[in-house]
Structure 1
Amino acid sequence: MSSQVRGGTRWKRFALVMVPSIAATAAVGVGLAQGALAASFSVSGQDFKVSADKLDGENLIQYGGIAEGHDLKGNAQHHPVTISGFSNAKITNMCQSLVTPTPLGNITLQLKTGHKGTPAEASNIYLDVAELDTDAEFTNLDIGVAVGDPSHKTKPQAGTVASPYAFSQRADRAVLTNVKQKAWATTAGTFKLPNLKLRLLGGDQPCYQDIKD
């Protein structure tokens, strides 16, 4: 995000613009999927990083998708993503960061929650994930189930356009530990963020550094 600055940085405006998008996100998403899907909303020109010690989610559904949006200069972009949905999820020691360019240099918006013994909780949560590194454990995993199969306990994201026969996978439970991910968007029915800490930091100070293969 860039803005003209005269006589100083408009920190209050910067925070008001960025907080809503960053407060409604969490860490989740595993595996690979295929399909031709499109979300009902466009994404911003920036992805964000999320880390967490643990995510414990119920009724996973996962399938491939395309996040459509524009870069910061207005050029159209299409981002392949894995859409991961849970009916309920608990996230322990979550950190989320977004590095934003300004005329005075990069600024990092960093959010931390669920770090004092009470995890963050979300219901009906869906994430458009671009990259994920984690240790994962699934309970009652089914791979290759059609997106439109009526037996999915968590239904595909509302507004998603796709063939009901596209590839997906599901599990009764998924436990992810040592989570590091990049995502383009998240939606949730409810999201509780205990002991929320929001900070604006100078320079590049993401929740984690990029992992080298």
Structure 2
Amino acid sequence: MVIKLRDDSKIPLKVLFYGKDKTGKSTRACQYCKAKGLKPIVLDFDETNATECPVIDLPMHTDSAAYNNIKQAIEDIKKAPEYDTIILDNVMTALTRITPPNDSTKFFRGRTERWETLMKKIRNSRLNVILIGQIDMYVEDPGKEEKNNKTVVNLNAWVNEKYYCYKENGQFKCVSEVVRTFDSNEEVKKDG
């Protein structure tokens, strides 16, 4: 057997932007893509994204339509050479939109299965992924999962970089935290 080593330079970026409403998360995500030379397209689950990035017209009139259309969009983006990055704008709304109406079981089994399927599709697509979420995407105490939504904990563990966006004295600001890096010469950074 020949051992083949992975090429870490081909590992897709996985980035999270989070913060309160109207703090420039979507704008920052598009600026990030532009600065990195990425070719993004947006799945906007709240229909509030007002940036220069292209946004897919995604019918989500029922939970099944939302789920199936998101799956199809991921496939279509994967095949489109003009895009290499998918931006999921408002992750928690996406979860709500794919939740079956009678999914009132203790652990939201239907929602969990659908979300895991979508995330597997995204991982297998090898696209760069930018997640945008509200302040509820912040993990308070990583060691105490009972304080946090399990999906949020998993997404925070999955991303390579996180950016907290906020507004201070009328100015939009973003604090970055590089969660992990693949360049052995680069230190893990935290800055303000």
Tell me, yes or no, whether TM beats 0.5: no
Greater helix fraction, Structure 1 or Structure 2: 2
TM-score, normalised on structure 2? 0.23
TM-score, normalised on structure 1? 0.22
Greater strand fraction, Structure 1 or Structure 2: 1
